[in-house]
């Protein structure tokens, strides 16, 4: 799907193209679509807003939408198509850790500026150097350590932990970091169960039964999207959330979907994303919440916030490079501008390190149902 730009009034710099083509890649179908639809709507709203204001450096944005479904091989093919056939200038997106790890070497080879907005595995920026690939949000280590510390604060005498996660990079890295953090902070803790499911399995009865038998003090899960919604709706009636303290690495993202199904007292994280709509105080955040809610018919969740982070980081890098050069920049000049860049977003200030990994504040808490909003 392609969204054409509106007319813009700002003067473009010397050497500027008639438009800048940017693809947004996320899940628009299947069990993971609850993530991607949020990011898609945020991208549409933000690009339309910016095009009315002058685009990027006076150049209108042409948004190309690509479904992330189909697996890593499909996404590698899609990336090649976007670069070689669509001639995109940059790509924003990738939620799945499996997909972002698969496309990274291809993006580097094809020299396409790629801004990863959600993919959580630490391996993206730590296992090999990046030139063309950036990540504008924290990796899974930050939220896993936060979950461990918060669980210990709530239950300092805990003795046993268990994990229920998907069997691929994201699930294994999220659980691995949580387990390591817990064992470091409380060396006497015992791991009584490590359960693995397929990607977006959709059926968790066996895992729930085993967790009920194991009775761990704390359960860690990085299930997400439709899989997490199903897990909550299957586990809550069976009393899992009452028996154990459950820490959900991506729990915030499904709060609006599960409503009263999720009991109070569950640790729910927005993947170490910062300030939120409930306490919106800045003009930027108020505009963001109102605009996205009107467009998506849903409050911004952390995929929406992280989508904004990625787009605004890319825009900031282009505009910094334009200001430095006094003309339209090359991709390498945009990359140089991106490294060390700090920019403001509705969730707070973001800074891009030289290794292309962003750093920012985060938040975590426990669920409590709100009659005002109709969800926790």
Going by DSSP bridges, is the β-strand pair 348-352/358-359 parallel, antiparallel, or unpaired?
Answer: antiparallel
Tokens 């200001």 — which residue?
Answer: 323
Cβ neighbors of 125 (< 8 A, separation 6 or more) are 133, 135, 139, 355, 356, 357
Sign of CA dihedral 168, 169, 171, 176: positive
* 127 pLDDT higher than 90: no
* Residue-level pLDDT at 6: 40
Domain range summary for the chain, segments of one domain joined by +: 2-138+280-359, 141-272
Q: Is the pLDDT of residue 359 over 70?
A: yes
pLDDT the model gives residue 272: 61
How much is the mean pLDDT over the chain? 92
| CB contact at 8 A, 113 and 334 | yes
In this prediction, residues 29-57 reach a mean pLDDT of 95
How far is it, in rounded angstroms, from Cα 182 to Cα 190? Answer: 10
* Tens-place pLDDT, residues 211-268: 999 999 999 999 988 899 999 999 999 999 999 999 999 888 889 999 999 999 999 8
CATH number for domain 141-272, candidates 3.40.50.300, 3.40.190.10, 2.40.10.10, 3.40.50.2300: 3.40.50.2300
Give the single-character DSSP code of 164. Answer: E
CB 58 within 8 A of CB 13: yes
| Bridge pairing between strands 113-116 and 90-93 | parallel
Alpha-carbon span 86 to 278, nearest angstrom: 40
In this predicted structure, what is the pLDDT of residue 278? 59
Fold of 2-138+280-359: Rossmann fold (3.40.50)
For residue range 56-72, what is the model confidence (pLDDT) as tens digits?
A: 999 999 999 999 999 99
The mean pLDDT value for 289-302 works out to 92
Whether residue 9 has pLDDT greater than 90: no
- Specify whether the backbone of 238 is left (phi greater than 0), alpha (psi in -120 to 50) or beta: alpha
pLDDT given for residue 2 in this prediction: 43
Check residue 281 and give its pLDDT. 78
| pLDDT reported for residue 7 | 40
pTM of the model: 0.91
- pLDDT tens figures, 81-93: 999 999 999 999 9
Q: What is d(CA 113, CA 45) in angstroms, rounded to the nearest whole number?
A: 22
Listed range (61-75, 124-138, 145-159, 208-222) with the worst mean pLDDT: 124-138
Residue 316 has pLDDT above 90, yes or no: yes
Q: What percent of the chain stands above pLDDT 70?
A: 95
Statement: residue 195 has pLDDT above 80: yes
Q: What are phi and psi of 262, to 5 degrees?
A: -90, 120
The pLDDT value given to residue 142: 86
Half-sphere exposure of 156 (CA within 13 A, CB side): 1
Q: Which residue has the higher pLDDT, 261 or 272?
A: 261
For residue 104, what are its two tokens? 């990274």
DSSP 3-state of 12: coil
The model's confidence at residue 169, banded by pLDDT at 50, 70 and 90, is confident
> Quick one: pLDDT band at residue 277, thresholds 50, 70, 90?
low
Alpha-carbon dihedral angle through residues 269, 270, 272, 278, given to the nearest 10 degrees: -100
Per-residue pLDDT, averaged over 94-101, amounts to: 94
Report the alpha-carbon distance of residue 14 to residue 350 in Å, rounded: 29
Range name among 74-83, 84-93, 150-159, 291-300 with the lowest pLDDT average:
291-300
């Amino acid at each position: 799907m392609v969204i054409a730009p509106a007319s813009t009034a700002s003067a473009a710099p010397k050497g500027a193209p008639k438009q800048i083509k940017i693809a947004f890649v996320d899940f628009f179908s299947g069990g993971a679509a609850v993530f991607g639809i949020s990011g898609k709507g945020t991208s549409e709203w933000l690009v339309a807003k910016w095009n009315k204001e002058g685009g990027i450096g006076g150049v209108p944005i042409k948004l190309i939408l690509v479904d992330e479904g189909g697996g890593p091989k499909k996404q590698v093919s899609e990336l090649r198509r976007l670069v070689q056939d669509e001639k995109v200038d940059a790509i924003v997106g990738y939620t799945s850790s499996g997909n972002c790890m698969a496309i990274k070497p291809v993006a580097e080879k094809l020299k396409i500026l790629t801004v990863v907005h959600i993919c959580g595995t630490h391996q993206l920026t730590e296992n090999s150097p990046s030139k063309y690939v950036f990540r504008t949000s924290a990796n899974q280590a930050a939220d896993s350590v936060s979950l461990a510390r918060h669980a210990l604060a709530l239950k300092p005498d805990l003795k046993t932990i268990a994990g229920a996660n998907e069997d691929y990079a994201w699930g294994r890295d999220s659980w691995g970091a949580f387990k390591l953090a817990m064992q470091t902070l409380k060396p006497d803790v015992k791991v009584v169960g490590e359960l693995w499911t397929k990607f977006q399995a959709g059926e968790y009865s066996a895992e729930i039964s085993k967790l009920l038998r194991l009775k761990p003090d704390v359960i860690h899960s990085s299930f997400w999207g439709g899989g997490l919604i199903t897990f909550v709706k299957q586990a809550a009636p069976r009393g899992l959330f009452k028996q154990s303290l459950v820490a959900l690495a991506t729990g915030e993202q499904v709060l609006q979907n599960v409503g009263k199904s999720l009991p109070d007292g569950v640790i729910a994280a927005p993947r170490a994303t910062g300030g939120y709509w409930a306490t919106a105080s800045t003009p930027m955040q108020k505009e963001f919440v109102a605009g996205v809610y009107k467009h998506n018919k849903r409050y911004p969740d952390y995929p929406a916030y992280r989508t904004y982070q990625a787009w605004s980081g890319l825009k900031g890098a282009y505009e910094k490079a334009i200001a430095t050069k006094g003309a339209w920049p090359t991709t390498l000049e945009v990359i140089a501008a991106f490294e060390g860049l700090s920019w403001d977003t509705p969730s707070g200030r973001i800074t891009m390190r030289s290794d292309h990994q962003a750093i920012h504040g985060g938040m975590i808490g426990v669920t409590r149902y709100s009659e005002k909003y109709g969800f926790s």
